[in-house]
A and B are shown apart, each in its own frame.
Chain A
Amino acid sequence: MSAPSLSPSSQSSQSSPDLWLARRAAGGRADAWDELLALYGERVYNLALHFAGSAADAEDLTQEIFLRLYQNLRLYRGDVPLAAWALRLSRNLCIDYYRRARRERRALNVSEEVLAGLPAGGDDPQAEAQRRQQLRAVYRGLEEMPEDLAEVVLLRDLQGWSLEETAACLEVPVGTVKSRLHRARLDLAGRVTAKLGPRGAAVAIPELEVEPC
């Protein structure tokens, strides 16, 4: 299933189907609720996996997010993407899970579970091993970063959310997301450099000029 994403030009056209879907689901239509789950369930679950740090907690978190979403569907006005709105409703919950996972150093497990889902690297096992190493380094770097910076990288770069969705979820303007994202990437590049060395970091974050810490 392809994840629905929002480009700036398509935001207004996307919000209407979301609103229609939300209205039908709030009205008790089982098919609408199933459609909503099919559209956003996987995205929310993967994000919950990063916040919660374990599959079991991620399932609980996903369920709580959707429960809150269902209870508040009538309040949805369609001005922001539905997935971002759902996350905004449960932001404190996600932050609680995230802090608990960080305290218990469980966030490392996420990368292991995600690594298991990496597509096969073909005939080059060295490249595949390198990718795993890079991903681990990025996750470790995220654990050490301030929450607001880690959050924006998580949503935008690791989960592939659009700028508009990220801004709606974090309740900040798009410009703030961009600037915060830039700072977060620089911060993360420094941390990855410290772990992998300048060469490894340059491979992991090729578009940034990484300066050694």
Chain B
Amino acid sequence: MLSWACRRFRARFNPGDTHPHRRACAECDAFATALEQGARVRLPLPVSLRSNLQSIQSLGAREPGAILPFPVPRLPMPESLVARLRSIPTASRPAPPEWVRSPRYALAASALLALLLGPLMAGAADRGQRALNAVRVEVSPLLDHAGTGSRKELEKLRLATAATYDTARESVADSLHRFDAGLSGLSIRLSNVLSEDLNQSDARHEPDRPSDK
């Protein structure tokens, strides 16, 4: 007895469907596979029926004055001819030239290339060295000049930075010194004021002391 899910799957299945139930149920998967294989089968049209159908089609196309009152039958193409015609695109594709296919031509071409390019390649190292020297001669003075100029500029920059630093440091030290001096003066004045206040206070309390006795 099929389950409800199986019945539902089978009733709604179309070839090519990928329903999750198909993966879950082996029987339904077999059912689906069989249906898909069946859907791919196409029966050929019988030759006699095909000929008759063609004659019906041609019969409708007859025009007044046509030389025959019935259609001339058309013969189907022989299978061998169909195969020959299908192979035309691959058969008529241009083959690579002989000098590509033959190893003899490849060897000869390699030897010829070596002969032609050998002298050029042999002098390549010397020419490279000469070119490097020429570059060095041209570029080294420029580099030296650039290095010297850079060093001078760096020295100037360093001096200017040091001078600016010294000025700033002196300015800060001077400010701190002045602040320290101001603070000391303020402290002295404050202590003077406090001592005066204490003296005046002592003086006010002095006359009362004998009467207490």
Contacts and interface: CB of A to CB of B under 8 A. Distances in A.
Contacts of B67: 138, 153, 157-158, 185, 188-189, 192, 204-205
A5 interface: yes
A3 B92 CA distance: 27
Contacts of B86: 33-34, 37
Contact of B88 (A66, A117, A208): A66
A114 B82 CA distance: 19
A184 B159 CA distance: 115
B72 A63 contact: no
Interface string A173-213: 00000000010010011001000000000011111100000
Query: Interface extent on A, as a size class?
Result: 35 or more
Nearest to B45: A1
Contact of A114 (B50, B73, B77): B73
Contacts of A42: 74-77
Nearest to B78: A59
Contacts of B76: 42
A114 B72 contact: yes
Contacts of B51: 117, 119
A113 interface: yes
A41 B68 contact: no
Interface of B: 48, 50-52, 54-55, 57-58, 61, 64-78, 80-82, 84-86, 88-89, 92
